[in-house]
């Protein structure tokens, strides 16, 4: 008779064989000796480039401001030169026809002039109406009175025996072809519009 007692009944462990294969573990590469360096961020300017850009902008701005100042300075200097030339000529620039102007010039008494005792002069004898405050009348081309003033300043030339007055009449209307000026009641002196506007009046008596 054959013994059919299993082997594990005698204290032996049964041996089992598995049909599932062991899992494959991938190879892991070794760690590098030096950590990799991060690449600089794209598009971020360096400090040197930023400073260079700012410097170029400042120089360009200074050049623009300097050019503007130079152009303005030239215009101003030209204006001053023109004004100085007009002043050197001793005559004011002519006013436009549609504006009022100041008629200026001089009036000289060549006979009977004496000192007035206060630094000026006046007429005597048949010219005693010529003095400080004597009327100055301006007429238009039609003979109408358009402005008035008076003799205010005088200069006595004892050697020549003359008395010269400054003439200044403000607010004379423009638009006339010629003007007439009368000192006291001594008759009218005619002058062109250009002469009247440019300080060209000059009269004498004696």
Look up the CATH number of the domain holding residue 159: 2.60.40
With cut-offs at 50, 70 and 90, classify the pLDDT of residue 152: confident
Tell whether 59 and 138 lie within a shared domain.
no
With cut-offs at 50, 70 and 90, classify the pLDDT of residue 68: very low
Asked if 112 and 156 touch (Cβ cutoff 8 Å), the reply is no
In a domain, 14, yes or no: no
Residue 59 has pLDDT above 50, yes or no: no
Residue where one domain finishes, among candidates 37, 71, 90: 90
In a domain, 167, yes or no: yes
Domain count, the chain: 2
Asked if 101 and 175 touch (Cβ cutoff 8 Å), the reply is no
Tell whether 116 and 183 lie within a shared domain.
yes
Residue 122 DSSP SS3: strand
Tell whether 146 and 65 lie within a shared domain.
no
Residue 150 has pLDDT above 70, yes or no: yes
Dump pLDDT digits (tens) for 139-149. 999 999 999 99
Domain membership of residue 68 as a residue range: 51-90
Query: What is this structure's pTM?
Result: 0.53
Dump pLDDT digits (tens) for 116-130. 999 999 999 999 999
Asked if 136 and 149 touch (Cβ cutoff 8 Å), the reply is yes
Asked if 81 and 75 touch (Cβ cutoff 8 Å), the reply is no
């Amino acid at each position: 008779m054959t013994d059919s007692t299993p082997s594990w009944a005698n204290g032996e462990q049964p041996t089992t064989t598995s049909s599932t294969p062991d899992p494959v573990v991938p190879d892991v590469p070794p760690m590098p000796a030096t950590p990799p360096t991060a690449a600089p961020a794209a598009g971020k300017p360096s400090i040197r480039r930023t400073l260079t850009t700012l410097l170029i902008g400042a120089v360009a701005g200074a050049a623009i401001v300097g050019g503007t100042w130079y152009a303005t300075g030239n215009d101003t200097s030209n204006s001053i030169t023109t004004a100085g030339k007009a002043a050197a000529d001793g005559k004011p620039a002519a006013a436009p026809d549609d504006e009022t102007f100041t008629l200026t010039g001089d009036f000289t008494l060549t006979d009977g002039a004496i000192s007035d005792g206060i630094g000026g002069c006046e007429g005597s004898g048949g010219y005693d109406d010529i003095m400080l405050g004597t009327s100055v009348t301006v007429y238009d081309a039609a003979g109408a009175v358009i402005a008035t003033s008076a003799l205010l300043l005088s200069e006595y030339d004892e050697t020549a025996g003359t008395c010269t007055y400054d003439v200044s009449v403000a607010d004379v209307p423009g638009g006339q072809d010629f003007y007439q000026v009368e000192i006291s009641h001594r008759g009218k002196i005619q002058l062109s519009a250009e002469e009247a506007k440019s300080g060209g009046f000059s009269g004498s008596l004696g």
